[in-house]
Structure 1
Amino acid sequence: MENNLLNNDALVSEIASIITNARNNVAKQINSELLNAYWNIGRVIVEDELKNNRGEYGKKLLTLSKTLTNKFGKGYSRENLQNMRLFYLKYPNCQTLSSKLSWSHYCELL
């Protein structure tokens, strides 16, 4: 009986390790995809700004923020969209971004 408990504990421990590693990998992948998405949103905003009238930029971001928030929920405030724009401008090469840093870390660096 005691031998079964030891084996069971080892089994649970091994499975727990697999689950923990999988969860950590998923979190890293989500962070990487979010950084990529925010960088690309910044790129699209900058490209649109260059094509169109810069004077309308502020109003356009406010409208864009409302539209994106209605469609996708929170996370697309005017301030956050400005951070995405700045993110693209400060880090023009997306491949050099570190997925070890979160969006919050990059916002602090900006």
Structure 2
Amino acid sequence: MSNSVQHNPLFISIKELIEDSKQQVAVTVNAEITLLYWKVGKRINVEVLGNERAEYGKQGVATIS
């Protein structure tokens, strides 16, 4: 790419728009993945553990105390 194109204000502005959008997509995807994992954990807690702490969790708290 020529040096004059890289210093063109329109080119720079469009490049910044693209980079900002890429960053926003990454933030959104990370937030959605975090929410997904939380929902999966919540579902397991309710369905499998009956909304109670797993035994290994109780042992961990006792050990740390």
Given the two structures, how large is their TM-score scaled by the length of structure 1?
Answer: 0.41
The corresponding residue for 1:37 is 33
Q: 1:26 to 1:57 in 2, by over 3 A?
A: farther
Is the aligned partner of 1:16 residue 2:12?
A: yes
| Identical positions, percent | 6
Q: 1:24 to 1:57 in 2, by over 3 A?
A: farther
The residue type paired with residue 55 of structure 1 is R
Point out which structure has higher relative CO (alpha carbons under 8 A, 6+ apart).
Answer: 1
Is the aligned partner of 1:26 residue 2:17?
A: no
Ranges in structure 2 where 5+ consecutive residues have no aligned partner:
61-65
Distance in 2 (CA, whole Å) between partners of 1:41 and 1:29 is 18
Using the TM superposition, give the Cα deviation of residue 38 of structure 1 relative to its aligned residue in structure 2, in angstroms: 0.7
SS in 2 for 1:43: helix
Distance in 2 (CA, whole Å) between partners of 1:42 and 1:57 is 20
The corresponding residue for 2:42 is 46
Q: 1:43 to 1:58 in 2, by over 3 A?
A: farther
Q: From the CA coordinates, give the structure whose radius of gyration is larger.
A: 2
Given the two structures, how large is their TM-score scaled by the length of structure 2?
Answer: 0.65
Using the TM superposition, give the Cα deviation of residue 57 of structure 1 relative to its aligned residue in structure 2, in angstroms: 7.3
RMSD: 2.5
The corresponding residue for 1:68 is none
